[in-house]
Amino acid sequence: MASIKKRRLRKKLYLEEFAVYGFEFSCDLNLNTECELDSFFDQLLDLVENRELCMGGWGTTKTFEAFICSNSRYSSATNDDREAIKDFLHSKNFISNVVVGQLVDANYGI
């Protein structure tokens, strides 16, 4: 089916070939102090930034959830990025109930 919007408008609206994909994740933490949370967050942020991604979310010493997408304007997170985050979370013995979502359109949630 042909697109009804011109390329310029598709780009401006992040549609079709310009769609940006990301994923969400959540997990339970078993941390005792804010310092431990800061250390975990710093390690996670290093991984995210090294993969040229960005992250938005929140957490406490008991739970953490975030959405991850590409740091570049018209790039997307990949399944390799999902697996890297999942592997990182599973490698920590203080993390349980890891849920990593599928890739979704970061602008429209579909």
Tell me the per-residue pLDDT of 2-25, one tens digit each, with 9 for 90 and over. 567 798 998 988 888 899 999 999
pLDDT at 73: 86
Residue 91 near residue 54, CB atoms below 8 Å: no
Helix (H, G, I), strand (E, B) or coil at 13: coil
Domain ranges within the chain, ordered by starting residue:
18-104
Q: Which two tokens stand for residue 2?
A: 């042909």
Dist CA 94 CA 19 (whole Å): 35
State the average pLDDT for the chain: 93
pTM of the predicted structure, to 2 decimals: 0.88
Q: Per the CATH hierarchy, to which homologous superfamily does domain 18-104 belong?
A: Ribosomal protein S6/Translation elongation factor EF1B (3.30.70.60)
